[in-house]
Amino acid sequence: MKTAVFTGIRKITLEECKTPTAKGNKVLVKVNSCAICTWEQRVYTGVNKVEFPFIGGHEIAAEIVAMGDDVNRTEWAVGDKVVVGATLQCRNCYYCKTGNSQSCEHFDHSAHLEGLPYRGMGGLSEYLLVSPDCIFKYRNVDPNEACIIEPLSCVIHSVETANVQMGDFVLIIGCGIMGLLHTLLCQKKGATVIVSDVNEERLKLAKKLGASYIVNPMKNNIEEEVKKITGGIKAQVIFDTTPIPIVIQDTFKCVSNVGKIVLYSSIHPAEPVLFDPNWVHGKSIQILGTANSNDRDFMRAAQMVSEGVINLRPFVSEVYPAEKIQDAFESAAKADKFRVVVNF
């Protein structure tokens, strides 16, 4: 089988390796589509440090092609279309055992998965050997869309972390794929969505996807706009989906009393941010973090996409065959796309 291997910064090649065999309680899946996430883009450009050689890929739509003898036949069958979830949760630690496997103590992007020649999350491979714990069925949609169920599951986790309520004003900063997925979900939760971005095209798309108000902070003062829109109260929930440290200061200016600020994106460069502790205390502000997703988030993301509640088609920007993996990464690294998808 083929697998795409990072061999250095801005270097990725297809390598031939042995196809693993399904045995015991393991399932062999054929990867149809794998999307290139920002995390892999940062590995490619050297921002995220890994030890080379390394196999990336964690946004995966696949199909079961073989099953070990111990796999539960009432739940699984050859031919099932599945998305592959976080294969790296230990399922043994305190967090995994208390329903918070998205924050697994032993989560490691650089684990060595069984059946692969090198370390890494492995999705940019023709076949993967996985535990049935890590796969979730989907139906009705193309694998190029289904591979985006993984990021959707992370956004479901984020929106639920904020516990968005009907009637809330929600400010979403950044209209990349993550900002737009937040827009879709918050709108469906009954919130009034305000989005902010410097890219007019993306603001237009956000409006089409259900945002009630758009703000371009290059043209208008975001605090003033949010005050105007909310009648002076400001936003009950803010999601920051950008990696820019200074944007966090904007969230402080735009949040209501008893409001919540969710830091969805990782921040680059990771600089400390100053805040007034008496303001957090006095106004009962909640600053929350979220990352990854758990089984429940995956099940619900797969269900919403399978039944057309969420349409992921607008986020499939380009599709490349695996043979053009380097071109796919060069294109994804330009960061003007939503998702670049690789087909095996």
Binding-site ranges for Zn ion (CB under 5 A): 37, 90, 93, 96, 104
Mind giving me the DSSP string for 170-227?
A: EEEE--SHHHHHHHHHHHHTTPEEEEE-S-HHHHHHHHHTT-SEEE-TTTS-HHHHHH
Q: Judged by CB, which is closer to Zn ion: 42, or 227? A: 42
Indicate if the alpha-carbon torsion angle 28, 60, 151, 138 is positive or negative.
negative
Please tell me what DSSP assigns to residue 59. E
Q: Judged by CB, which is closer to Zn ion: 104, or 170? A: 104
Q: Judged by CB, which is closer to Zn ion: 96, or 316? A: 96
Residue 181 CB, nearest approach to Zn ion (Å): 11
Beta-bridge partner residues of 343 = 33, 321
Indicate if the alpha-carbon torsion angle 135, 138, 143, 148 is positive or negative.
negative
Residue 58 CB, nearest approach to Zn ion (Å): 6
| 10 Rama class: left (phi>0) / alpha (psi -120 to 50) / beta | left
Residue 101 CB, nearest approach to Zn ion (Å): 6
Residue 12 CB, nearest approach to Zn ion (Å): 17
Residue 323: strand, helix, or coil: helix
Q: Which residue is nearest to Zn ion (CB)?
A: 37
Q: Judged by CB, which is closer to Zn ion: 123, or 259? A: 123
Q: Judged by CB, which is closer to Zn ion: 155, or 247? A: 155
Q: Judged by CB, which is closer to Zn ion: 50, or 273? A: 50
Residue 91 CB, nearest approach to Zn ion (Å): 6
Residue 110 CB, nearest approach to Zn ion (Å): 15
The burial of 334, by beta-carbon neighbours within 10 Å (0-12 exposed, 13-18 middle, 19 or more buried), is given as exposed
Closest C-alpha to 279, from 296, 258, 300, 250: 258
Supply the angle between the helices 149-162 and 177-188 in degrees, to the nearest 10: 60
